[in-house]
Structure 1
Amino acid sequence: MSALDWLNGEAFSVLGQHVIWSDMIGNLIGLAALALGWRRSVATWPAQFLSGLILVAAYAQAHLSGGVGKQVLVIVVALWGWRQWAAGRRDAQDGSIAVRFATWRERGVLLAGTALGTLAVGALFTAVPELSWNPWPDAYIFVGTLAAMVAQARGLVEFWFAWLLVDVVGVPLAFTSGLAFSGLVYVVYFALVLWGMRDWWLRSRTAAKPALEGAAA
């Protein structure tokens, strides 16, 4: 048995849902990556890279081309984000990556890029049914994940809001696609996202105060 066959083999069943190894392992590593992102650790990026590699097998087995494409994108953006954080601005208190809220211009670019990207990818999936059996949710998650990771690489608090919006569609899509473990992990993601959002928001405010006090002086 090859490694790929083992990854796509059944790990266990729960409530009639079959959980495959690649789905379980990839998502557990992805969960760890999100927790590391919450802690603003550079290790979040190699974890996301490894998670993407393993989840390619899970989505390919479920015939979700959009999911496969998303994970390939995760792999590429993880390498870029790793480089960004390695050379990024540091928090003076603990040396972790400094975070901030996006400017209105950055928010506009992210929103416009996400909307246009979703329309373009959704139209492609609709025109080529072999790429996805559920084109618009698949396209939404594909592009939303890219937007979230780009915002994370830039240390923007809005990264967490992007993940929340991805989760809203990702949970039901994962369950209906037979990726039960992905659906369960998305639920845990939701809780981590709320905690991470609060932490980054508070840190961005703390970092902004010295800057404002210095400008006033």
Structure 2
Amino acid sequence: MISYLEWSANAVFVISVILAARNNVNTWWTGIIGCGLFAVLFYQVNLYADVTLMVFFILTSIYGWMYWGAKKQLHPIQRTKMTNFVSFIAAAVLATLAYGWLLHEMTDAYAPFIDSIVLMFSVLAQFLLMKRRLETWVCWLIVDTVAVPLYFSRELYLTAFVYGLFWCNAWYGLYSWIKIYRSENKGEKTWQQSPLSAD
């Protein structure tokens, strides 16, 4: 039976993700609430790595809220240089292998390497989202693609279903942000490389 806590956590988190896809600054404070609820839920079922991820999301959401501007004074959407993005992906893969091995050797974690993909690519996606980088949605697509079967196998059926919706929303977010990026850059090529350090 799905608990009220799981219903509440997913409901608030859905709102946060939809707001992110709509380029809305309110994604951050709703995300903080959703992550807090999920942290409690995961703690109750002994998913401590997921608790750590939720705490990370809360801390980075506070920073993201400040970066985007609490008064909706939004920074423009930007691109990441392809060489930098490839380096980020490679680093996430290496971190996944290292953390997955650590969990495999030192804990009784369920599907440690698969779970590590969700963790590491969520971290990368979150940092890109905070900086309003278009590539954040590519990373979220990876996360959601892996998370759906993972959570389903843990019998977290509602959460798996919601992450399926997140997968669809990530496609919408990518489309929406490409459209906004083109508008902000007056028709420049969507995949034009931009400096990582640009604000």
TM norm. shorter chain > 0.5: yes
Q: How far apart are the structure 2 equivalents of 1:126 and 1:33?
A: 32
Q: 1:159 aligns with which of 122, 136, 139?
A: 136
Question: How many percent identity over aligned positions?
Answer: 23
Residue 122 of structure 1 corresponds to: 100
Corresponding letter in the other structure for 2:152: F
Q: Which moved more, 1:60-69 or 1:154-163?
A: 60-69
Instruction: Identify the match of residue 77 of structure 2 among 99, 117, 122.
Output: 99
Separation in structure 2 between the aligned mates of residue 210 and residue 175 of structure 1, nearest angstrom = 42
User: How many positions carry a matched residue from both structures?
Assistant: 189
Worse overlay, 116-125 or 50-59: 116-125
More strand by share: 1
TM normalised by structure 1 equals 0.80
Q: Which runs of 4+ in 1 moved over 6 A?
A: none
Residue of structure 2 in register with 1:149 after alignment: 126
Matching of residue 66 in structure 1 with residue 79 in structure 2: no
Q: Displacement of 1:39 after TM fit?
A: 1.7
Q: Does 1:196 align with 2:179?
A: no
| Structure 2: gaps (5+ residues) | 190-199
Report if aligned partners of 1:41, 1:97 keep a CA contact under 8 Å in 2: no
**Offset at 1:34?**
0.8
Does 2:54 align with 1:77? no
Distance 1:21 1:210, change over 3 A: same
**Structure number with bigger Rg:** 1
Residues 181 and 97 from structure 1, CA distance in 2 versus in 1: closer, same or farther, beyond 3 angstroms? farther
- Kept in 2: contact 1:174–1:180 (CA 8 A): yes
How far is the alpha carbon of 1:52 from its aligned partner? 0.9
Superposed displacement of residue 190, structure 1:
1.5
Distance 1:87 1:211 in 2: 29
Q: Provide the secondary structure at the position in 2 that maps to 1:40.
A: coil
Q: Provide the TM-score with structure 2 as the length reference.
A: 0.86
SS of 2:25's equivalent in the other structure is coil
Q: Which residue of 2 aligns with 1:51?
A: 34
CA–CA distance in structure 2, aligned partners of residues 180 and 211 of structure 1:
42
Q: Is the 8 A contact 2:25 2:70 kept in 1?
A: no
